[in-house]
Chains A and B, each alone.
Chain A
Amino acid sequence: MSRTVVLLGLMTAGLVGCDTLRSPSGIVPVSGVVVYNDVPVADAFITFIPEKGPKATATTDTDGQFKLTTTLPNDGAVKGAHQITIELQEAMDPANPYAKRKSLIPEKYGSLKESGLKETISGPATLEFKLTDK
């Protein structure tokens, strides 16, 4: 009889499921800092575009620090090779949302083809991006 009770308990326990949001598998925490001419860059928008999988994004805080987000806040990025872009723009006319915007860091860092920034993520990582005028 005790065997039956144990069996019953196991069967019930095995059927309890959940349906919550999860990050895709193979995600590792990635954080870092962005500096431009040795000054930390605040509010810069960073995008990690992997060869395979969803992209990860982050915005730097006042110290230039960032933590990447793919699905859940600060969960990181998928493992593998990434192309990286960094953007920081300012509206030339704050009153008009459709006004032209100018870049506060060299524009090439915002272009997938020209940024030249590449990282391979194989595990939890802390990165540093040093941007220069060259």
Chain B
Amino acid sequence: MMPQTLRRRAGFTLIELLVVIAIIAVLIALLLPAVQQAREAARRTQCKNNMKQLGLALHNYHDTSKQFPPGCFVVNSAQYGTNRGSMLAQLLPYFDQAPLYNAINFSAADYDTIALPSGQLICKQVVPALLCPSDGTNGNGTLSGMGQNISPQSDSRAVSNYAYSMGAQNNECATGWNVINSNGSQNHGDTMDPGLISGPFAHMAWGAGLRDLTDGSTNTILMGETRPKCSTHQQNGWFHSNALWCNTAAGINVATCTGEPGAGGPCGVPGSPAWGASQSFKSMHTGGCHILLGDGSIRFISQNIDFATLQKLGDRRDGQVVGEF
């Protein structure tokens, strides 16, 4: 038999209990705010991942073609009424959408009529990889109503939350479009002359090569987030030649969505020709939006970013030191 030892009566003092409760309370208090943001954080991560895939696609395209894809395939502004396919149409095979790409008849007179074997028009085909889950204003991925240059005008189109950058380009209602110098003087980027385009893509059939990003690929914005609901042109859809031409001339998250706080005036209304502001980068994330830099990296930049710094990031050959952002 083991010798029995004297035992104290088991139990906790009040102080011990309170200390334990206090520790638990602290842990819960630490966790709660994190849980509240967890869903948006997850959406933001997916949003960022989609953009990363486009970055990789752009670089793979560059490996093949020695340049980034042109903004679209129109060569003069009179052609905007006809859909000749956007830069994303060229990228399709590089982000696992080869069947869609193969369905495009590149000699068609108007790409709006090109259909998949199922009969679904490509311009109405929602590509989930082009939608940011944080933006809940995309409907089911297609938007209609304010689209220009598409027929019928009321038809809905599949949209994209990711658009290419023309840099600090001259655009209506984007005063101070280039505070550094006057690169990118052609209004709306309506040119194929690289000398008149500030960023890596034009509104027409021109796209830069990495050699053209003389500021360094780390210091040049390739793409950014956009909100189709807040831009007349984005509503033309991801497949349309007259949709994705965004710029860094107006700032980040400039409110242009009718009915949303802060929107108003000729530069805040999506229907008016206020394209500098409506075609600027914006997102539903609090305080800023994601941008894709020329080296394929993604950065979340604050909407309070120094205006001049944003211009330097947008311009591919300003020759200025960018600094921290």
Contacts and interface: CB of A to CB of B under 8 A. Distances in A.
Interface of A: 1, 4-5, 7-8, 11-12, 15-17, 19-21, 23-24, 43, 45, 47, 49-50, 52-55, 57-59, 69-73, 83, 85, 87, 89, 91, 97-98, 101, 110, 112
A54 B179 CA distance: 12
Contacts of A49: 175-176, 179, 307
Contacts, number: 99
Given A45-B266, A59-B267, A53 B307 contact: yes
Given A8-B21, A72-B262, A85 B176 contact: yes
A11 B179 contact: no
B66 to A, nearest CB: 32
B262 A73 contact: yes
A55 B308 CA distance: 9
A74 to B, nearest CB: 9
B14 A12 contact: no
B173 interface: yes
A73 B18 CA distance: 47
Closest 10 pairs between A and B when the two form their complex, measured CB to CB: A59-B265, A15-B29, A47-B175, A24-B304, A49-B176, A85-B175, A55-B307, A73-B262, A4-B18, A97-B273
Interface in B5-63: 14-15, 18-19, 21-22, 25-26, 29-30, 32-33, 37
A43 B15 CA distance: 68
Nearest to B173: A45
Contact of A1 (B14, B148, B305): B14
Given A59-B265, A97-B273, A112-B179, A4 B15 contact: yes
B77 A19 contact: no
A17 B286 CA distance: 15
B273 A4 contact: no
B176 A15 contact: no
Contacts of A50: 307
A54 B287 CA distance: 13
B306 interface: yes
B303 interface: yes
Given A45-B173, A45-B266, A98-B80, A54 B306 contact: yes
B264 interface: yes
Interface in B60-77: 77
B25 A11 contact: yes
Given A97-B273, A98-B80, A55 B22 contact: no
Contacts of A70: 304
Given A1-B14, A45-B266, A55-B176, 10 more contacts: A4-B22, A11-B26, A11-B29, A45-B175, A52-B308, A53-B307, A58-B265, A59-B266, A89-B172, A101-B172
A11 B262 contact: no
Nearest to B188: A98
